[in-house]
Chains A and B, each alone.
Chain A
Amino acid sequence: MKNRVLGIFPVVCSLAMAAGVVYAEFKKGYYSPAELGSLRQAAPMQLLPDANYQVSAYPVPAVDLVSGDGLQDVQIYCNTCHGPRYITMQPPLPAATWEAEVEKMNKTFGAAIPEDNTKRITLYLQAHYTTDNRKQ
């Protein structure tokens, strides 16, 4: 009796496969637009036949900087010449490199950030954007 059951099993299996061979799968995912990374199309611009060649204002998308001591100094001083994405775009950098970058802004580019604020900006960058501690 036991032997007979085992003997029938492979036969049953091949019959089932012949009836419903899996050729493909058909999955759908339900994503929010943000998760999908979808972008709305830009609106067409109204162009006038005058001599002024104009485009829309350049967008300044918000940047998520880590919150912490010195963030306000970064937002006030660094933002004068460039957006904070100059920070987040960088790879994690050694602490000494961040110090050199801030010094470059003051000395080479003439940023003239007061000493206290310079120190706070450097410490902020070193606390959140180095090879040891960068998370976002």
Chain B
Amino acid sequence: MTMAQEPARGKAIETFTGPGANPHWNSVGPYVTEPQKVPLILLTDRPVQLETPRHYFRTAFTPNEAFYVRWHLEGIPNAVDLKNWKLQIEGNVLKPVVLSLPELMQKFKAVSLAAVNQCSGNSRSRLQPRVPGGQWGNGAMGNAMWTGVRLRELLDMAGVKSGSLMVQFQGLETGAGPAGFGSNLFLKSLDLGNPVLDECIVAYLMNGEPLPMLNGFPVRLVVPGYFSTYWTKCLTWIRVLSAADENFWVKTAYRVPDTPRGNTTPEDVKAGKVKMVPIGRLPVRSFLISPGGTSKIPAGMNVTLRGIAFSGFGGVNRVEVSDDGGKSWMAAKLGEDHGAYSFRTWEAAWTGKSPGRYSLAVRATDEKGNTQPDEPVWNPGGYLWNRIERQEIAVGNAS
């Protein structure tokens, strides 16, 4: 995670990493320009998966045009006709509801909430042994101010019938696979008893602008504190279910071991010893964004270390940095508090006193007392990575 950059002949970054861990902050794909986006790091093009480069995380809010993208199926809308598009609340309800975008904007109170959207597989390329899947570096995350309608108001309007179990979300995404398979539709559900439903927003604004098509125009579900798998893009059907959702994306995919940190071993998985449960909230994480190791720092120069931190279990209330690889720690200064589910920026002044290589490390603690550990995580899906991040910094002679 150090690596100075140079554009020299024949010295482009490697085209893949492994079998060791990806040593870079981001993944290693080329930059591509997709509609409504600045050049982002390509993981796959069909369906589209794009990673946000490190430097866009200097601020608490991630710009829409740099916000990462992750779709599951290759049928991604590139045009939505708002003359026809309607949000539908259906299934086990007293009175199905159909709402146009103007109705969503005018009939309900608009609420805003800052929340981090992080892919379940963010940092998957760190795992040892490596697991198949999207080989994300750290850039499958972003924070935005989401504005829209409370999901609860929509459910109340339709009237959830007693005996209902789950609420299922379906967007406009479709795949070429046969009906009834995960390759045909991407469907996610949450238990009706889950208190997060009271915090969910059906968002039509992202940082005060319409959502980019690749991030879910015209509306997307926001599930504060939860991994992005639940944040259905181009949300069009909200379906109340009277039975458990048995579809692939709920029953089989996005499951993690029912162990501390979701940690296990390939051997235990093979032996059938691991009970798997649906992935949930974001474990506490923090990142050093700058300096990013691309430049040498003269000895004795007092520089500012900057980064972000977040947790899905409650706001981050402590960030600490280390310049000896994690042996001793000092407190960083936290930036503005945009709410418990937002990125929290932090900074700390630091001087590399003598020339050499320093291993900077950063760790966060949330208000529930969860602190980032220094042990790696392994599970077959490549989820929940939140180990302490390190950055090697070269300090040069100043004279």
B9 touches A110 (CB 8 A): no
Name, among B8, B130, B132, the residue most crowded by chain A CB atoms within 10 Å (CB to CB): B132
B176 touches A59 (CB 8 A): no
A108 touches B78 (CB 8 A): no
B111 at the interface (CB under 8 A from A): no
Using Cβ atoms and an 8 Å threshold, which residues of chain B touch A14? none
Classify the secondary structure of B's interface with A: loop
B80 touches A53 (CB 8 A): yes
A83 touches B44 (CB 8 A): yes
Q: Which residue of B lies closest to A129 (CB)?
A: B16
- Contact string, A30-54, partner B, CB cutoff 8 A, digits 1/0? 0100011101011001000001111
Size bracket of the A interface: 35 or more
Classify the secondary structure of A's interface with B: loop
Using Cβ atoms and an 8 Å threshold, which residues of chain A touch B7? 29, 31, 35-37
A5 at the interface (CB under 8 A from B): no
B35 touches A37 (CB 8 A): no
Q: Which residue of B lies closest to A93 (CB)?
A: B132
- Bound form: Cα–Cα A111–B175 in Å: 12
Using Cβ atoms and an 8 Å threshold, which residues of chain B touch A90? 16, 18, 132, 135
Please tell me the number of chain B residues within 8 Å of chain A, measured between CB atoms: 57
- Contact string, B116-131, partner A, CB cutoff 8 A, digits 1/0? 0000000001000010
Q: Which residue of A lies closest to B135 (CB)?
A: A89
A53 touches B79 (CB 8 A): yes
Given contacts A56-B78, A57-B78, A97-B132, contact A92 B16 (CB under 8 A): yes
Contact of A53 (CB < 8 Å), options: B44, B135, B181, B213: B213
A55 at the interface (CB under 8 A from B): yes
B178 touches A110 (CB 8 A): yes
- Bound form: Cα–Cα A57–B178 in Å: 24
Contact of B35 (CB < 8 Å), options: A29, A41, A55, A136: A55
B19 touches A92 (CB 8 A): yes
Which 8 residue pairs spanning A and B have beta carbons closest together?
A91-B18, A83-B46, A55-B35, A110-B181, A109-B183, A54-B79, A91-B130, A51-B83
Show 26 residue pairs from A and B whose CB-CB distance is below 8 angstroms, ordered by the A residue: A31-B7, A35-B7, A37-B30, A39-B33, A39-B39, A45-B35, A52-B79, A53-B79, A53-B210, A53-B213, A57-B78, A58-B76, A82-B44, A83-B44, A85-B46, A88-B15, A89-B29, A89-B43, A89-B44, A89-B134, A91-B130, A93-B18, A93-B130, A108-B248, A111-B177, A112-B178
Please list the residues of chain A having a beta carbon within 8 angstroms of any beta carbon in chain B.
29, 31, 35-37, 39, 41-42, 45, 51-61, 80-83, 85-86, 88-93, 97, 101, 108-112, 131, 134, 136
